[in-house]
Amino acid sequence: MNTYSVLFVCMGNICRSPTAHGVFRHKVQAQGLAERVHTDSAGTHDYHSGSPPDERAQLHAAQRQYDLSDLRARQIRTNDFVHFDLLLAMDNDNLALMRERCPKIHQGKLRRLTEFCLTHDAKEVPDPYYGGSNGFERVLDLVEDACEGLLQYVQKEIRKKPARPI
């Protein structure tokens, strides 16, 4: 069975990347692809390793029927660049940090999540950490849009990917 794996990355892995992780996981499950698409999230920094997503991120996500409560922050690891098919940064700063750490052979796996937006014209998912409720709602608007485009992309990639031997 062809599988595909996506890692969402922001700075601390408590706001944007777990939101994207939860939204994309929800969309994958709704399409019956949970066994074929693996999703995870990480941060470029280890500020919050082991912590659940920010309470505000969880609250706003829950209002849209996304459960983030089981997610825990972690820092990106070197083997993530090898094991994931696609690593998506929330902004240019974190993308630059990922590029510095990523082995040359895997650089093509690094992109920004907003490249997959279907209706929004945004270059980055802004960090809502120091803002109010509107920031978390804006993140969800962008993430939902991008994850819809990402799901279409991943479905095509699964069809193109050679089956792994059992």
**CA dist., res. 96 & res. 81, Å (int):** 14
Query: Is 127 among the residues known to form the active site?
Result: yes
Alpha helices in the chain (DSSP H): 16-30, 55-63, 78-83, 92-101, 133-160
Which of 15, 16, 25, 80 is labelled catalytic? 16
Give the C-alpha separation, 155 to 35, whole Å: 13
Phi, psi of 9 (to 5 degrees): -135, 130
**93 is annotated as an active-site residue:** no
Q: Are 49 and 57 in contact (CB under 8 A)?
A: no
Catalytic residue among 40, 80, 91, 127: 127
Residues ≥6 apart with Cβ < 8 Å to 139: 15, 16, 19, 57, 60, 125, 126, 128
Alpha helices in 31-70 (DSSP H): 55-63
Catalytic residues: 10, 16, 127
